[in-house]
Amino acid sequence: MVEFPKKLKEKLLARTGDKTLRSLPERNTLVDFSSNDYLGLSRNGEIFERASQILSEKHIVQNGSTGSRLLSGNHPLYTELEEKLAEFHQTESALVFNSGYDANIGFFGAVPQRGDIVFYDEYIHASIRDGIKMGNAKSYKFKHNDLGDLKKREQAERRRSLFGTKEKRGQAERKLPKTELRPSRLIPGKAGEAEVPLPNTAEVYVVTESVFSMDGDSPDLKAFAEFCQENKYHLVVDEAHAIGVFGKCGEGLVQELGLQHTIFARIVTFGKAMGCHGAAILGSIILKNYLVNFARSLIYTTGLPPHSVATITASYEYLLMSDNAADGTPRHRIVRDLSEKIKHFNFELETPALSTSNAPSIGNVKGGDLTSPAGVLKPIFIPSTSAIHCCIIPGNERVKKIAEKIREKGFDVRPILSPTVPKGQERLRICLHTFNTEKEISEVLQLLAIFTKEA
């Protein structure tokens, strides 16, 4: 056996010592409050059968794609899917990647160029951070969902990039002629100072998510879009946790707000509410052409097999069926069902009369022992209208202990530990699904209230 590097052993030992060592879990039969399968489509028999039907109709008997999409792997199902995606999401074009991670590192590693600037939300997904690191643009984070802080960072970092040190910046600003200013690309100076022009060649990208995976909350996308339009910046939105959750047919939060024509690029993924695997970047035709030529995570990897692409197609066809049929009746209510479960969850947090002596017994916990979720939990839950709801329980050991107690009662909830989230912001994350019953939602909240008080 080849000896394992000492430095790597030490890193594993450090994780073991602070009890943050990860391992691959086994499948369980608990009530699911942890997966990203928001609409339950991963277990949907109609989609499973439809995917096979698509392959049969196209006479495709092929297990793999055989190569990169730029070589032999771009089978005909790709073209049909990308056309469907562009139509469904009301955009010029779509480009399918193997995963959300591949899409983000492909985009951010290729699009922002040297001399450009990327401003990103401090809670942005790790795949976006990794992609930014692969590129050559300068990048700066702003406070979570805080447009005001973004504006401050924009001014401060632009001044620094233009003039360098504080002393040189002051000298340059005092000497800057008014005639050199460009109204469309200005940063206002302080009172009595000249305005500072932006470099002519710099493109600015503002990056956020429509639903944040570790908080379940959303930014004011309308305000961000207006800010970017006013300044000719490029807004990029990751919609991984919004697809299937927001919009009449699950189109996402961007389309629910009518902002699809103001966004430079959207990243949508198929491994969450869509119940499949893969992702796509939505945007202009020229953006798609650029990514085909320069996105390394697309160029240098084997494409998705036909069955995967057929399954994504079948899932989108199923989403479209949530719209009304010709006679005006809905063919199914899956997106609305999820919305109602989310409303019920938030209603439970607001209702103090859910427990007391009238509450049902849960396992060996009698109803009379139950605690009102409203009084105990609401203050420590991050407000959310998405499928993700997070309860802040500081301390890795404390949140792990509470999660384990709830799991012992039959509910699969997972703790989110530092360093995944900042120390002191450890949390229990509850993911809601169409297949969760209102009774299950009430029970898991009541148990959480009990064990939070005890811990």
pLDDT (tens digit per residue) in 128-181 = 999 999 999 999 999 999 999 999 999 987 677 666 655 555 555 555 544 333
Query: Which three-class secondary structure state does DSSP give residue 315?
Result: helix
Phi, psi for residue 274 in degrees, rounded to 5 = -75, -15
Angle, helices 306-320 vs 76-88, to 10°: value is: 30
pLDDT for residue 184? 40
Helix (H), strand (E) at residue 78: helix 76-88
Q: Is the pLDDT of residue 379 over 90?
A: no
Q: Tell me what percent of the residues of the chain surpass a pLDDT of 70.
A: 83
pLDDT for residue 264? 99
Q: Is the pLDDT of residue 216 over 70?
A: yes
pLDDT for residue 376? 64
Q: Is the pLDDT of residue 189 over 60?
A: no
Q: pLDDT class for 325, splitting at 50, 70, 90?
A: low
Q: Read out DSSP for 146-206?
A: -HHHHHHHHHHHHHHHHH-SHHHHHHHHHH--GGG--GGGEE--STTS--EEPPTT--EEE
The CATH 3.90.1150.10 portion of the chain extends over 333-454
Q: Are 78 and 66 in contact (CB under 8 A)?
A: no
pLDDT for residue 362? 44
Q: Are 221 and 229 in contact (CB under 8 A)?
A: no
At residue 103, what is the residue type? A
Q: Is the pLDDT of residue 357 over 50?
A: no
pLDDT for residue 27? 85
Mean pLDDT of 355-360: 38
- 389-413 pLDDT per residue, tens: 999 999 999 999 999 999 999 999 9
Mean pLDDT of 344-373: 56
pLDDT for residue 178? 46
Q: How far, in Å, CA of 314 to CA of 50, rounded? A: 6
Indicate the range of 26-35, 148-157, 192-201, 214-223 predicted with least confidence.
Answer: 192-201
pLDDT for residue 371? 52
pLDDT for residue 452? 87
Q: Are 355 and 446 in contact (CB under 8 A)?
A: yes
Q: pLDDT class for 365, splitting at 50, 70, 90?
A: very low
The CATH 3.40.640.10 portion of the chain extends over 55-145+203-320
Q: Tell me what percent of the residues of the chain surpass a pLDDT of 90.
A: 73
Among 3.20.10.10, 3.20.20.150, 3.90.1150.10, 3.40.1350.10, what is the CATH number of 333-454?
A: 3.90.1150.10
- 217-269 pLDDT per residue, tens: 999 999 999 999 999 999 999 999 999 999 999 999 999 999 999 999 999 99
Q: What is the mean pLDDT of the chain?
A: 87
Q: Are 189 and 156 in contact (CB under 8 A)?
A: no
pLDDT for residue 271? 97
365 or 161: whose pLDDT is higher? 161
pLDDT for residue 420? 86
User: In CATH, what is the architecture of 55-145+203-320?
Assistant: 3-Layer(aba) Sandwich (3.40)
Q: Is the pLDDT of residue 20 over 90?
A: no
Q: Is the pLDDT of residue 33 over 50?
A: yes
> What count of Cα atoms within 13 Å lies in the side-chain half-sphere of residue 46?
10
Q: Are 292 and 95 in contact (CB under 8 A)?
A: yes
Indicate the range of 58-72, 112-126, 187-201 predicted with least confidence.
Answer: 187-201
